[in-house]
A and B are shown apart, each in its own frame.
Chain A
Amino acid sequence: MAGEARNLKVRIDHVSKVYETRNGPTEALRDVSLDICENEFICVVGPSGCGKSTLLNIIAGLQMPTSGKAYCNDHEITGTGTERGVVFQQYALFPWLTVKKNVMFALNMRGVKGAAAETEALEYLKKVDLEKFANHYPKELSGGMKQRVAIARAYAANPEVLLMDEPFGALDAQTRTQLQSELLETWEKDMKTCFFITHDVDEAILLAQKVIIMSARPGRIKEIVDIDIPYPRNQETKLLPRFMELRNHIWEQVYKEYLEVRK
């Protein structure tokens, strides 16, 4: 990236997290420091249990670090905030609300009420191509559709940073590919700061400007890889020789950590 100072969105400053469990303390994160700049798309990869989700939860304000601090817009993160939106792996749609009302929930919390909220909700649904399903309940949708609604809902809250916790992890390969493409397209347009967790190396390289490789427990940042493949990208990007190179490199690093976990 060019040398000029970019707007710092999120700063993670020497963050550690220790969980107290029945079998004694478990160190989930050790001394993690990371800067996320405005408009940046960052992917985090690493073996399961490396503290990826803990890191995301700390940025979201859903968990507090044991030591160190996290900041958003130079303010210390002490709880959730609407400038940080989250998309969960398990969709987390409210099953008793229709698709439209799920999106309206986010708008209502932002103070948009009544007919205005309804119109706006439909606009967000249009963006994910689900306006026809506005009055359906989540149980009537496929996994991919549910996650689209969840993404629409996260966008409706109009956050400055989008935190995505393995959002496509529960989907089949085909749907996943499709949602990746849609997310890429959206990001290339609005460049909303994105912090995306995945265990899929290909997905990480395809989407991100920077891939952060985390080590096995206790989670530390092992390496930050700049993905120097220009946007716009699409599924064919995966066929580029540079993609293969990056893929082999990252895979090797992640695989070493998998082996570490198995020990």
Chain B
Amino acid sequence: MQKNQPGAQKSRFRIPDRMWLLISFLAAMVLWYILSVLPATSRCFPNVVETMKQLPVMIQRGVLWKDISSSMISVLSGFGLGFVIALPVAILMAWYKPVRNIIEPWIEFIRNIPPLAYVPLVVIAAGVGRKPQIIVITLATFLTMCITIYQGVINIDETLIKAARVLGASDKDIFIRVIAPASLPFILTAIRLGASVALTTLIAAESTGAMAGLGMRIRSLNNAFETKPMLLYIIIIGVIGIVIEKLIKLLERRLTSWQEKREI
């Protein structure tokens, strides 16, 4: 039922979305090339071919897969834990005013502190290894997801709850049949933001004396002035981020296609 963006139908030669993606990609390649030849930026932007050549090199060194899997374990477990804690806390905050009034300021306070700042404290408390990594990611994703879900639940259209009530719905009915489905879009948005935060927190999380990991490797390559593989790793993180985001968007489209407008 939705129309295309305004102006989209005017041009006679409509470029399909897939083509735009390709154009965007090619433009990025050109920009990358320019950066790799400009004297000011050539040192931090080795050219595409040089960078890609590092892929087999890193595989041969036996670190690439280890780094990716190690990071994914930290990201997924931290994110999973963060979600499992955020969901009930967000609902409690939306449901009970005292809970909200006490916890919301905490979240707002901690959320603005860069994770890198409290990493040393986590290491002191939890030692080195997998544990502190998961703790840092759990904390960061929890904060983002909790606030997002809570904001969504308190903004549920009150008329829907009223409508259910006048039709004879009990509190339980309202929770299961109104609050839960009405919150689903916000929960999915929270998952998307949480996944992104998990990745952006990776470097901080892996500065806790990790043995492997994308973030840890970037730091160690940096210390060795190995710019080319470093850039490769940065790109890998970006690619993982896009893949995760696309998967979640696919999920969103399947589960919340009933929505009137789509969030960005």
Contact = CB atoms under 8 A, between A and B. Distances in A.
Contacts of A140: 1
Contact of A139 (B162, B164, B260): B260
Interface stretch (A22-30, A87-95, A222-230): A87-95
B163 interface: yes
B10 to A, nearest CB: 26
B162 A62 contact: yes
Contact of A96 (B1, B169, B173, B181): B181
Given A95-B260, A157-B167, A109 B162 contact: no
Interface in B163-202: 163-169, 173, 177-178, 181-182, 184
A60 interface: yes
Given A90-B159, A92-B159, A96-B181, A85 B258 contact: no
Given A86-B162, A92-B160, A110 B168 contact: yes
Contact of A109 (B159, B168, B259): B168
Nearest to A159: B166
A94 B160 contact: yes
Contacts of B166: 60-62, 80, 82, 84-86, 157
A82 B167 contact: yes
A64 B162 CA distance: 14
Given A95-B258, A96-B182, A157 B163 contact: no
Which one of A81, A82, A94 has the greatest number of beta carbons of chain B within 10 Å? Answer: A94
Interface string A69-87: 0000000000011101110
A13 B163 CA distance: 25
Interface residues of A, number: 27
B259 A106 contact: no
A80 B260 CA distance: 29
Given A86-B162, A94-B178, A96-B184, A109 B258 contact: no
Nearest to B163: A92
A106 B159 CA distance: 15
A88 B159 contact: yes
A130 B181 CA distance: 24
Given A84-B166, A106-B167, A96 B159 contact: no
Contact of A95 (B162, B173, B177, B259): B259
A87 to B, nearest CB: 9
A70 B257 CA distance: 42
A137 interface: yes
Contact of B167 (A61, A62, A109, A137): A109
A105 interface: yes
A86 B169 CA distance: 13
Interface in A87-127: 88, 90, 92-97, 105-106, 109-110
A52 interface: no
A82 B165 contact: no
A105 B160 CA distance: 12
Contact of B169 (A85, A90, A97, A109): A109
Contacts of A92: 157, 159-160, 162-163
B165 A80 contact: yes
Given A82-B168, A85-B166, A96-B181, A109 B160 contact: no
Given A62-B162, A92-B163, 17 more contacts: A60-B166, A62-B166, A80-B165, A85-B166, A85-B167, A86-B166, A88-B159, A88-B163, A94-B181, A95-B259, A96-B181, A96-B182, A105-B167, A109-B169, A137-B257, A157-B166, A157-B167
8 contacts: A80-B168, A82-B167, A88-B162, A92-B157, A93-B163, A137-B258, A139-B258, A157-B166
